Amino acid sequence: MKLLALDTSSEGCSAALWLDGQISERFELAPRGHTRLLMPMVRELLAEQGLSPKDLDALAFARGPGSFTGLRIATGVIQGLSWGLNLPVVPVSSLAAVALDAIEQHQLADGEHIAVAFDARMGEVYWGTFLCQQGLPVLIGEERVCPPGAVSLPGSDVSANWTGAGQGWTLKGDMPEVVVCRIRAVDDTLVPRAAMVARLAEQDFRNGIAVPAELAQPVYIRDEVAWKKLPGRA
């Protein structure tokens, strides 16, 4: 299987190619460089393997939550490729991609938990909690946006192992003590990466979770902000 994955949902810009179980990736921290960097990354990855876009079987992208502008860039590229090549698309949660990165970077075992936080600006964080199951993150509850002081962890088992992941954890001083005291370790350096998107997308694709181009849409969570930023809106 040949799957191309993109992520521009944060200050990181990346593209990854899943090729029959092997992943190659291009990644760069470039808050204002997504448009300039993304397609050259795609061309490099394909050329490296002697492939052309028509050789791909599927596409994937980090669908958010994240930067409004960044999400639109990856969405636009993926939709264009999907329409042009008639390929299915697997949208992947940006929060889940970071949860998977935490599982792999910190060698988390099945049954351990991950609380992912992104800085959503406007005094809020994007928040998602996950359970590690067969080496993959499984969402507990719903992804949401809220002030740091309103985040919470599911369940009452204070002995459960929780790891904090994502740059939103730089705001842990504003989070409830009852949450912070249950976190055994924090990695606030992790941002979404296309390699993690590809890993999750491959699983979803095998499970029949894919959409056509017109349904490959970003998920902002804070929908009213995205609506106000559309052209012609105040």
**Domain map of the chain by residue range?**
1-91+190-213, 94-185
Regarding predicted confidence, which is higher, 50 or 226?
50
Rg of the chain's alpha carbons, rounded to an integer? 17
Instruction: Identify the helix (H) or strand (E) that includes residue 140.
Output: strand 136-146
The CATH code of domain 1-91+190-213 reads 3.30.420.40
For all residues of the chain together, what is the average pLDDT? 94
User: For the residues 161-166, what does the mean pLDDT come to?
Assistant: 97
Please identify, in words, the CATH class of the domain defined by 94-185: alpha beta
For residue 107, pLDDT beyond 60: yes
Q: Which amino acid is at 166?
A: G
What pLDDT digit, counting tens, does each position of 56-78 carry?
Answer: 999 999 999 999 999 999 999 99
Confidence of residue 142 (pLDDT cuts 50, 70, 90): very high
CA 75, CA 81: separation in Å to the nearest integer? Answer: 10
The fraction of the chain above a pLDDT of 70, given in percent, is 95
Question: What confidence tier does 233 reach under pLDDT thresholds 50, 70, 90?
Answer: very low
* Whole-number pLDDT of residue 223: 56
Residue 230 scores a pLDDT above 70? no
pTM (predicted TM-score):
0.94
Is the peptide bond preceding residue 147 cis, with omega within 30 degrees of 0? Answer: no
C-beta separation of 87 from 35 below 8 A: no
User: Which is more confidently placed, 156 or 5?
Assistant: 5
Judged by DSSP in three states, 40 sits in: helix
pLDDT tens digits for 167-211?
999 999 999 999 999 999 999 999 999 999 999 999 999 999 999
Whether pLDDT at 229 is above 50: no
Task: From 7, 74, 19, 16, select the one nearest 45 (Cα to Cα).
Answer: 16
Tally of CB atoms within 10 A around 29? 11
Exposed/middle/buried for residue 8 (C-beta within 10 Å: 0-12, 13-18, 19+): buried
Q: Is residue 85's pLDDT more than 90?
A: yes
pLDDT exceeds 50 at position 234: no
Please report which confidence band the pLDDT of residue 143 belongs to, taking 50, 70 and 90 as the band edges.
very high
Say if strands 124-133 and 89-93 run parallel, antiparallel, or are unpaired.
unpaired
Do 94-185 and 1-91+190-213 fall under one CATH topology?
Answer: yes
For residue 224, how many other CB atoms are within 10 A of its CB? 8
* Per-residue pLDDT at 226 exceeds 70: no
